[in-house]
């Protein structure tokens, strides 16, 4: 339904390269064509989420990949297509178990988590506000 939802989560299908520490065998199941196939799907899903979100609502885009073709490039392309949508700084919302803001998540406004820094899978998160 167009413009019906306050909040939409897009946990986009991705290469899963950020989860290699838990599933190292996955590297042998991936090829460069995966990025070419997943990129358009990720953009389409994010665009559909924006269209389903009411003005003032938010869309959270997330992948378990650190690859720019699945993270920043997807968000940047979709933001160009939707001038009324703005990226909000998601970094202050990311907290550790003690409630402290996670360090070293990148320059913003989105965040990239890393296994060797944060003890998580490699994950990307962007928060978009629909105008």
Residues annotated as part of the active site: 64
Q: What angle do CA 41, 47, 52 make, to 5 degrees?
A: 125
Given the DSSP bridges, would you call strands 85-88 and 5-11 parallel, antiparallel or unpaired? unpaired
Cα separations (Å) of 11 from 2, 28, 49, 77, 89? 19, 23, 11, 17, 18
Q: What ranges in the chain are assigned the alpha helix state H?
A: 32-52, 72-81, 115-118
């Amino acid at each position: 339904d167009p413009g019906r939802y306050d909040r939409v989560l897009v946990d986009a299908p991705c290469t899963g390269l950020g989860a290699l520490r838990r599933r190292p065998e996955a590297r042998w199941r991936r090829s460069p064509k995966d990025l070419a196939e997943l990129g358009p799907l990720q953009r389409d899903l994010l665009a559909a989420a924006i269209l389903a979100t009411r003005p003032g609502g938010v869309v959270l885009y997330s992948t378990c990949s650190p690859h720019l073709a699945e993270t920043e490039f997807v968000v940047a392309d979709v933001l160009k297509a939707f001038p009324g949508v703005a990226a909000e700084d998601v970094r202050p919302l990311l907290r550790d178990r003690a409630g402290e803001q996670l360090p070293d998540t990148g320059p913003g406004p989105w965040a990239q988590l890393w296994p060797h820094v944060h003890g998580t899978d490699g994950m990307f998160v962007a928060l978009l506000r629909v105008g």
